[in-house]
Amino acid sequence: MYKIELRNITKSYGGNPPVIENLNLGIKEGSFTVLLGPSGCGKSTILRMIAGLETVTQGDIFMDGISVRDTAPGDRQIAMVFQNYALYPTMTVRENMEFGLKNGKIPKEERDKRIQEISEMVGLTEYLDRKPQHLSGGQRQRVALARAIVKKPAVFLMDEPLSNLDAKLRNQIRTDLIELYRKLGTTFVYVTHDQVEAMSMGTDIVLLEKGVIRQSTTPNEIYQHPANVFTAKFIGSPPMNVLDASAFTELGVSLPEGTRYVGFRPEIAMVASSITGLTGDYVAMEGDLLAREMLGDQTLYKVQTPYGIVHVKIFDDWGVGYGKVTIVVKKSNLFFFDQQEQAIA
């Protein structure tokens, strides 16, 4: 069942071309749905239309099957967490958490109970009497989360809430969010341009490009079965190597009819100074090693081949030195795309 449904949504500003046109999207109840894509793809605009902070030019938005297009933001049973925290600087942590409850006419006894319960859940109990300027970035983000959770909304909307944190804090808060989602069992809609956040937290990923949904599915499916070249090159670190099909024809690979591009992921390739004993199940291409990056548990190789730059990610460093190298890929691990850059089954 869809908790939120966007039907034939178009959004434009003034007389400019639409940033989103005729978009249809269903967000399942109880899911952690991530709106993912590069800057300017429309993901934050979609979130703000769901929240009621942006008007819909055309189309309609439904929550639990009821239109909320003309419903005020405060009446949509949603709570939103922003990337800049949006805390009240003159209020303590407790007062920030309590503000929305007071506006909602929640009795004091119930307010105190919720604040105590949620502050323990997110590790803020000892900071309840501090003001935001006396907290770290991670603590402020926890306050923003707690202020949302304490309202007990039907839907949590989060607009890149981790983008202002350093790498260590991002990892920590990301884990906290996963735990919170599992505890609360509520619908989360989360906006990010970071595929690591999307893949690690989401139960569903909606990948957008220029206001268009390029693929909407589970993290595993979007990685294992990219629907198009855009998805293939957006998901993965480093992204999938996508080369012209003529390269693989030259290397003796039999391609499906209509193939225009062939791809393979860096982590399923091998690289060595020389290769012996290959069978027909593999394809090999030679190149010059341009760069070698040691990243602790993995090593990234950047190789210039006659067909373009290729990246390889190895989890057991084989100590391959600079100079001529050979990249080997199992044929069963190749992906095929047609002239329109759509996946060939």
Is the whole model's pTM more than 0.75, yes or no? yes
pLDDT in tens, 266-294: 999 988 877 766 667 899 999 999 999 98
Distances (CA, A) of 149 to 118, 122, 276: 7, 10, 59
- The two most distant CA atoms of the chain are separated, in Å, by 76
68, 154 contact by CB (below 8 A): no
Residues present in the chain in total: 345
Tokens representing residue 318 in the block: 């084989």
Intervals of CATH 3.40.50.300 along the chain:
2-230
Backbone angles phi, psi at 282, to 5 degrees: -120, 155
- Coil vs helix vs strand at 331: helix
Contacts of 202 (CB under 8 A, 6+ apart): 32, 33, 34, 36, 190, 219
pLDDT at 277: 64
pLDDT in tens, 240-266: 999 999 999 999 999 999 999 999 999
**Residue matched to tokens 């189309």:** 59
- Coil vs helix vs strand at 263: strand
89, 133 contact by CB (below 8 A): yes
Encode 196-257 in three state secondary structure: HHHHHHCCEEEEEECCEEEEEECHHHHHHCCCEHHHHHHCCCCCCEEEEHHHHHHCCCCCCC
Nearest Cα residue to 204 out of 192, 196, 186, 216: 216
Nearest Cα residue to 306 out of 247, 233, 241: 247
73, 52 contact by CB (below 8 A): yes
**Domain 237-337, CATH:** 2.40.50.140
pLDDT at 318: 65
Would you give per-residue pLDDT tens digits along the chain (345 residues)? Answer: 799 999 999 999 988 899 999 999 999 999 999 999 999 999 999 999 999 999 999 999 999 999 999 999 989 999 998 877 788 999 999 999 999 898 888 999 999 999 998 998 888 999 999 999 999 888 888 898 899 889 889 999 999 988 877 888 888 888 888 988 998 889 999 999 999 999 999 999 999 999 999 999 999 999 999 999 999 999 998 999 999 999 999 999 999 999 999 999 999 998 887 776 666 789 999 999 999 998 888 899 999 999 999 999 998 766 788 889 999 999 999 999 999 999 998
Is CATH 3.40.50.300 the right assignment for the domain spanning 2-230?
Answer: yes
Intervals of CATH 2.40.50.140 along the chain:
237-337
CA angle 6, 53, 66 (to 5 degrees): 40
Element (H, E) at 139: helix 137-149
User: HSE (CB half, 13 Å, CA atoms) of 111?
Assistant: 16
CA-CA distance, 261 to 245, in Å (whole number)?
Answer: 5
CA angle 121, 127, 132 (to 5 degrees): 110
46, 59 contact by CB (below 8 A): no
